[in-house]
Amino acid sequence: MDEPEKYQFSDVARCKLCGECLSRCPELSLPLDQAKREKEKINKGEMSDWVSRICTGCFDCDYYCPNDAKPCETIVRCWYDDYKKNGLRERARYFMPLEPVNFRSYVTARLPQDEKKKLTGWDDTSTFEEFIYPGCNVCTVPYLTETSLLPGIPVRGGLDWCCGETFFRMGYFDLAEAQGKRMQARFGDMGAKEVLMMCTAGTVLFTVIMPERLGIKFDARFKPLVRYLWEELESGRIEVRRKLGLRATIQDSCYSKFLEPDYIELPRKILERIGIEVVEMPRSKENMVCCGIGAGFSMASNFNPIHLTLSTLKRIHEAKKTQADILCAYCAGCIQMLGVGSIFHPGALPIYHLLELVQMAASEEPARKIKQRARTMFIGTAVNQFPKLLSGSRFYPKPVVK
């Protein structure tokens, strides 16, 4: 297949230039006439830099489009074309999942010895039909798996077991495809049949993005952690020993919208079951916005730490305005990003992973190390990113997935 045709995931022919996508976008919120003009430019591959920078690749616009033209993929395709022409800015290297030194490896290299040992044990490719897949983000917080609520099956994963989400969402389609094939071969060699996914993004990559967009199919069945927790609570296998009596607002995963229609309601049903009242932020569910990490995904931003921090601070401020007691996320990446942002926001709500709250309701005490992990991640980003930011926007050749 010719390169211009290979990674065409949107259908510009379906676009009627109604402007709904960019007008309803919770980040852009453009006047309708301006939204129409900008979308016409995007369809021609002539996207404005400021639109590119503000877009977080959250896929909300795909759900607003009345013609199923997939406008988000049109935007990301522009990023792909830019990447193929110019390569990546130097500061993006630190956020590439398979680079020797990246924002996750900086943290894992500084884990306590017990968690380092746990992570080493996870990196096992011997035959396993059933296992827990932590995803890259949980590799920086292995303590989350220290609970009796998870099934008694092994955890298998590591930083190089990446699902390819960052590559795909940033428009590095060739790298996403290469990583998808790598994981397809690994799971096949392991004989994987049933995989419990601690990562919503990974669930979507393995069940939707890889098979439907890149033609990479897996033999295993993938169950997301959120669905598992709800089923365990419903069956009584997880017993609610105490109602928590809190009010929570929820940071949704950008990928929740790709799964079955009731998926985005499951975290809310779980919180209600354990005695937590949900107070929604104005931008939530299908109108959700990214935790902040997506503010660095575009070629115009390329992980500018200022853009990331400001985006996260806006989200923390929105959560604070709900007057909830806590901010809950079911993505380990979200709790880390929000944790880093809370360093700069003294009034930030306490941040909890959904699993931690279910632990508390089941009379287990979660480890609660998010603050120290957030500090480590921030230090790594400051050390590695701010010198590059000050030195300009140099480019480096595209990385290679071996």
Kindly report the CA angle at 44 between 254 and 208, in degrees rounded to 5? 30
> How far is residue 229's CA from residue 188's CA, in Å, rounded to a whole number?
27
Q: What's the whole-number mean pLDDT along residues 26-40?
A: 94
Q: If we measure between CA atoms, which residue out of 194, 273, 192, 202 comes closest to residue 231? A: 273
Reply yes or no on whether the pLDDT at 299 is more than 70. Answer: yes
DSSP secondary structure string, 319-386?
A: HHHTT-SEEEES-HHHHHHHHHHHTT-TTPPPEEEHHHHHHHHTT------HHHHHHHHHHHHHHHHH
Residue 1's pLDDT is what?
46
Residue 72's pLDDT is what?
93
Q: What share of the chain is helix, strand, coil (3-state, %, to 5)?
A: 55, 10, 40
Residue 172, SS3? coil
Q: What is the pLDDT of residues 127-153, one digit of tens each?
A: 999 999 999 999 999 999 999 999 999
CA distances from 281 to 47, 120, 265, 315 (A): 30, 39, 14, 9
> How far is residue 391's CA from residue 366's CA, in Å, rounded to a whole number?
42
The answer to whether the CB of 315 falls within 8 A of the CB of 341 is yes
Segment among 2-11, 77-86, 172-181, 331-340 with least mean pLDDT: 2-11
Beta-strand pair 88-89/221-224: unpaired
Sign for the pseudo-dihedral over CA of 137, 139, 143, 146: positive
Structure token pair of residue 17? 């230039």
Reply yes or no on whether the pLDDT at 372 is more than 70. Answer: yes
The answer to whether the CB of 65 falls within 8 A of the CB of 20 is yes
- Spatial neighbors of 265 by CB under 8 A, at least 6 apart, are none
Reply yes or no on whether the pLDDT at 393 is more than 60. Answer: no
Reply yes or no on whether the pLDDT at 394 is more than 60. Answer: no
Residue 230's pLDDT is what?
98
pLDDT band at 4 (very low <50, low <70, confident <90, very high): low
Residue 402's pLDDT is what?
46
pLDDT band at 286 (very low <50, low <70, confident <90, very high): confident
Residue 388's pLDDT is what?
66
Reply yes or no on whether the pLDDT at 396 is more than 70. Answer: no
Residue 391's pLDDT is what?
59
Q: If we measure between CA atoms, which residue out of 123, 26, 9, 113 comes closest to residue 69? A: 9
Reply yes or no on whether the pLDDT at 335 is more than 90. Answer: yes
> How far is residue 146's CA from residue 198's CA, in Å, rounded to a whole number?
13
Residue 129's pLDDT is what?
97
Beta-strand pair 246-251/326-329: parallel
Residue 400's pLDDT is what?
47
pLDDT band at 186 (very low <50, low <70, confident <90, very high): very high
Residue 384's pLDDT is what?
85
Check residues 126 and 298 and name the one with the higher pLDDT. Answer: 126
> How far is residue 6's CA from residue 337's CA, in Å, rounded to a whole number?
33
Residue 35's pLDDT is what?
95
pTM: 0.93
DSSP secondary structure string, 381-401?
A: HHHHHHHHHHH---EEPPP--
Reply yes or no on whether the pLDDT at 189 is more than 60. Answer: yes
Beta-strand pair 326-329/351-353: parallel
The answer to whether the CB of 17 falls within 8 A of the CB of 36 is yes
Structure token pair of residue 197? 């996914």
Q: What's the whole-number mean pLDDT along residues 13-40?
A: 94
> How far is residue 60's CA from residue 46's CA, in Å, rounded to a whole number?
21
Structure token pair of residue 290? 């990214």
Q: What is the pLDDT of residues 217-236, one digit of tens each?
A: 999 999 999 999 999 999 99
Residue at 62: amino acid letter:
D
Q: What is the pLDDT of residues 64-73, one digit of tens each?
A: 999 999 999 9
